[in-house]
Amino acid sequence: MSGRIAVACLLAGLAWLAPFAPAVASDRVARALLEALKANGTIDAKQYEDLSRLVEDEAAAEAQEAAATPAVAAPRPGALDVFWNQGIRLESADGAFKLRIGGRLQNDWGVLSPDQDLREELPNEAGQGSGTDWRRARLALSGSIYERIGTKLEFDFVGGDASLRDAYIELMKLPYVGTFRVGHYKEPMSLDELTSDSYTMFIERSVMNAFAPSRNTGFMLQNAPLEQRMTWAFGAFRATDDTTGNGFSDDGTYNLTGRVTGLPWYENDGTHLLHLGVSVTQKFLDQTSARIRQRPEVRLGNPFFVDTGSIEADGAQVVNPELALVYGPFSFQAEYAHTFLQANDTPDPDFYGLYAQASWFLTGESRPYKTSEGIFDRVAPERNFDLKGGLGAWELALRYSRLDLDDADIEGGQLDDGTVGLNWYLNPNVKTSFNYVAAKLNGVGWTNQFVTRFQIDF
C-alpha cells in the first residue's frame, strides 16, 4: 500500500511541476525523489525500476512534443509591425518608429460646352470637347523616426515624369513651438488649399484658390495649443519651381506666411463645431513680377479664363479669413481673399476672391475635422459599400465662387462659378465624385461643364 501511495505522490508532484519547470529540470527532480524513496525503503527495487521507466517515457514524450512545436523568436530590437490602417503602416512596438506608405490615383472624365461668344473669346477655341485625363498619380512615404524626427517624401507621376510634391524634414514635440519643419510643402494659407485634394468637397478647389501660394521651399514653426482647440503656423519661404522645389537667382521672391485657427465650439468628437481662422502672406517681389490667373472649377480641358498677365511689382499682401461649421450631417465653409499689389508702372491694383459652399450627408455621416492642423480630414462611411446592403456614404454639395481680377489699369477679368456636386464614398479609401459647373466670364459668355472623378487614396 505504501508503494502505491508513494507512486501517487510522485505523479502528483510531477503534474504540479510540469507547468513551471522545463522538461530536463522536472526529470532531474523525479529521479532525485525516486532515489530518496528507495534509500528510505519506501519503495522496493521493482517499484524503483517501474517508476524510473515511467519517468523516462514521460521525458521522451515531452521532448518529442517540444520538437514538434515551432519556436517563437523573440522580437528583434527595432523590428516593425506591418499592418493596414487606411494605408500601409509600419510601426515599432515602442512607437518610436512609425512609417506610412501611401498614394492616390485620380482619373477624371468630362464634357465641356461653352456658348458661342465664349468659344470665340478663348484661344484656339479651347475649353470645349470631351475626354479624360489623370489628375494625380502619386506615391508617398511619411512618418517619424526616433520619436521626434518626422519626414515626408511624395512624387506625382502624371505626365510620365516624377514631379516633387511634399519633401520635408521636421523636428517634433518641441516645447512651446511644437514642430519645426524645413523643406518643400504648402505655405500655411487657406482652409480649402490646406485640406488634401483627396478630402475636398468638390473635384477642384474654388476659383479663389488662385491667391494661395501653395508649395514653396522654406522653414516653418507650427503648433496646436489649448488641447488642439487652436492652431498656429508661421514660415518663411523662397518661391521655387513647383516640380523640383529648387530656386536660385539674384532676384528671388520670398514670402512670410502665417495662419491662426480656433474652435470656439467643438462637441461630440467634432460632429458639431465652429472653425474660425485667418491667414496672411507678405510677398517680397523685389521689382520682379506677379501674375494671377485661373481656370473654371474643372481642370480637364480648360484654359485660363481670367489672367492679369505679368505685372512688375515690389510686393504684395494677401489676407484670407476662414469660416466653417459642422452640424451633424450638414457642413458649411466660406473664405474670402484680398490681394494688395504694389505695382511699379501702374496704379496699385487690389484683387479679391471668395467662395461659399455647403454639403449634406444623405447617409448621416459628418465631415471629419483634424484638430492638430485646423483642416478637414478623410470621410469614413458608417457602413462601407458591399452587396449586402452597405451603401457607403453619399454627400450632396453646392458652391458659389467668384474671382475678380479687374482693378486700376489691370483688366484680368471676372469669373463666377456655380457648382453642384455629388460624392459617393464607397469606403474610407475609394471615392467617386460628380460635378456640374456653370461658369460665367463677365462680359463674354457662359460654359456648362460636367466632370466625374474616380479616386483611390491610401
State the pLDDT at residue 179.
98
Residues belonging to the chain: 458
- How does the average pLDDT of the chain come out, rounded? 90
Q: Would residue 38 count as lying in a domain?
A: yes
What does the pLDDT average to over 335-359?
96
Q: Would residue 210 count as lying in a domain?
A: yes
For 229, the domain range is 104-134+185-457
- Tens-place pLDDT, residues 257-289: 999 999 999 999 999 999 999 999 999 998 889
Beta bridge partners of 111: 130, 450
Do 445 and 390 lie in a common domain? yes
The yes-or-no verdict on residue 164 having pLDDT over 80 is yes
Q: Would residue 355 count as lying in a domain?
A: yes
Do 11 and 130 lie in a common domain? no
The CATH number that applies at residue 259 is: 2.40.160.10
State the pLDDT at residue 105.
98
Handedness of CA 100, 215, 123, 355 (dihedral sign): positive
Q: Would residue 115 count as lying in a domain?
A: yes
- The last residue of a domain, from among 68, 92, 122: 68
- The last residue of a domain, from among 42, 68, 94: 68
- Tens-place pLDDT, residues 381-420: 999 999 999 999 999 999 999 999 999 999 999 999 999 9
Burial class (CB in 10 A: 0-12, 13-18, 19+), 106: buried
Cβ distance 423 to 431 under 8 Å? Answer: yes
Do 255 and 394 lie in a common domain? yes
In which band, very low, low, confident or very high, does the pLDDT at 251 lie, cut at 50, 70 and 90? confident
Do 283 and 340 lie in a common domain? yes
Do 335 and 425 lie in a common domain? yes
State the pLDDT at residue 14.
46
Report the domain count for the chain.
2
Q: Which of 373, 438, 401, 448 is nearest to 181 (CA)?
A: 373
- The last residue of a domain, from among 68, 93, 120: 68
Do 356 and 237 lie in a common domain? yes
Rounded to 5 degrees, what angle do the CA atoms 166, 199, 102 make?
A: 45
What does pTM read for this prediction?
0.83
Cβ distance 319 to 280 under 8 Å? Answer: yes
What does the pLDDT average to over 229-245?
95
Q: Would residue 139 count as lying in a domain?
A: no
In which band, very low, low, confident or very high, does the pLDDT at 1 lie, cut at 50, 70 and 90? very low
State the pLDDT at residue 213.
93
The yes-or-no verdict on residue 13 having pLDDT over 80 is no
Do 115 and 29 lie in a common domain? no
Q: Would residue 276 count as lying in a domain?
A: yes
Q: Would residue 390 count as lying in a domain?
A: yes
The yes-or-no verdict on residue 92 having pLDDT over 80 is yes
Do 23 and 130 lie in a common domain? no
State the pLDDT at residue 77.
63
Q: Would residue 17 count as lying in a domain?
A: yes
Do 108 and 52 lie in a common domain? no
Do 110 and 64 lie in a common domain? no
The yes-or-no verdict on residue 4 having pLDDT over 70 is no
The yes-or-no verdict on residue 21 having pLDDT over 60 is no
- Tens-place pLDDT, residues 111-156: 999 999 999 888 887 899 999 999 999 999 999 999 999 999 999 9
Query: Cα(102)–Cα(218) distance, rounded to whole angstroms?
Result: 24
Do 60 and 115 lie in a common domain? no
The yes-or-no verdict on residue 48 having pLDDT over 90 is no
Do 247 and 331 lie in a common domain? yes
How much is the CA Rg of the chain, to the nearest whole Å? 34
